[in-house]
Structure 1
Amino acid sequence: ARPELFINRVVFDSFDSNVEGGSEPATSGAGTGAGYASGDTTLTFESRFESGNLRRAVQVGEWEYDLYLNPDWLTKTHTQWYHYRLSNTRRGPKYKFNIVNMVKPSSVYSEGQRPLCYSVKAAAECGLGWHRCGIDIAYYPNSLGNKVRRDSSPAAQPPNNSNSSSSNKQIAFYTLTFAAQFEYDNDTVSFAHCYPYTLTDLQRYMSALEADPFRSQWLRRRRLCETLAGNACDLITITSFSSNHEEMRRRKGVVITARVHPGESNASWMMHGVLDFLTGETPEAH
């Protein structure tokens, strides 16, 4: 291989579809990366799907990539979770992924957590779903040393942007690095911090609860408000609605919330379980 052909080569940018190999066909499941010649082993990255947050991928070695994340919505530097997919894999080589703009000084990855991954071919052939993966995992401070404008999101600037204005502040960044070896050639593989749970998943689940003859008798659903992104924020009331209005008004309420931050999809799964239990048929629920 000729290192000069791929070192520091931008291969994906979610803000720029003109980047070579920066996107994949909408129906892509496997195959060579979009924009690459036959036989090219460059990975094809994608994150322009619901709950994806990869901003940019830079190839720094034949099998190594530096990854930059988009910050959480309406924040400047909240980057501590990830969800992206890639294709055009090769069986055998050890790929290395460095997520270089994490912001928390400490991480559960230093205490044994591993990334989650999902292989399209493993799911089709073996029925294997999301599972823990990754080797050579480490989390440490890096020398990226970005200076981010106080009034501008880093997602709107190149990841290595710097500005000498006095209104800038120094941001400390950390790297999450891990390696992976793929089981299949030309596979499509997704990586995530936690098991994904999207807004679409939530809306489908709520519709299923409302359509269930037993569960629906215990709940009422209405729109509390809209989020800053314009999505519906539902208010679910669970109680016995057979009582009269005055008795219901005297009842004490318990408020349960979840998914305060975008990356906390594990909290969505916990709330899913809470709603299953509270609307279920067990004596404890009633």
Structure 2
Amino acid sequence: MKKKIILIDGTFYLYRAYYALPYLTNSKGYPTGAMYGFIKMFNKIIKMNINSYFLIIFDTKGNSFRRKIFSKYKLTRINMPNNLVIQIKPLYKIIQAMGYNVISIKNVEADDIIGTLAIYAEKKNYFIFIFSIDKDITQLVTKNIKIVNPINYSISGPKEIYHKYGVYPKFISDLLALSGDSIDNIPGVPGIGKKISQKLINKLGDLTKIYQNINNINNINFRGGINIKKKLIKYKELVFLYHKLTKIETNIILNQEYLNFEIKPEINNLKYLFKLYEFNNLINSNYIN
């Protein structure tokens, strides 16, 4: 039977925990809500996935290659609040003391780390479940790599992705390059929205095939096909740039320690950290067993 690997979008859970418990502190006034909330949510995932391996992946500060090639990439994102920033390193220590690997690499986005780990694990014959709400991640989905919604725990495979986005997972990056992605501040091609992008992809294929068959666009039953063709030609260079932004890298160089999925808890250290941050109800729980 195949072993399961759970890849967790740690940054999503970090923010979710922080905004659920924004004012929680220990008796010394140190903010602890993000740490406490994260641990509680993580423990729920562990209980739901007995006999699985877990890796928690976080974004870090710094400029990824995407920001270097497109300065407006993610420019609309709000900076992380300071009383959340100061909880990150202590949280890493707690997760590591629980026995799990925390992975973050400067100037490398979490999506690219997740993509690299997912493809590596699939080649090693694992089932992979990625806990993330990021639509970019859906491009990784295969019969062995599934996305789990971290809010309602629904599981999506290729059919579910097609039903939701109108294209199969391997075309998600093409869809986002054409239609844009406001969350990451990627404009897309003006006047070519989601529906037209879906139709182009489903009739012709990926971006390369769309441009190879650009003269056939009038035959696809498009209203305003001539206009669409003109826009695609005008924005060709930009749309391929956007595709570099939307395509997840799957060949990031990772330290060998990250590829060790074994769980190695440090019980005494974990007890110390729980006492330090006054997570008293966790000290005698199954975290320490």
With the length of structure 2 as denominator, give the TM-score of the two structures.
0.25
Greater helix share, structure number: 2
Greater RCO, 1 or 2 (C-alpha within 8 Å, sep 6+): 2
TM score, norm. by length of structure 1: 0.26
Flag the structure with higher strand content. Answer: 1
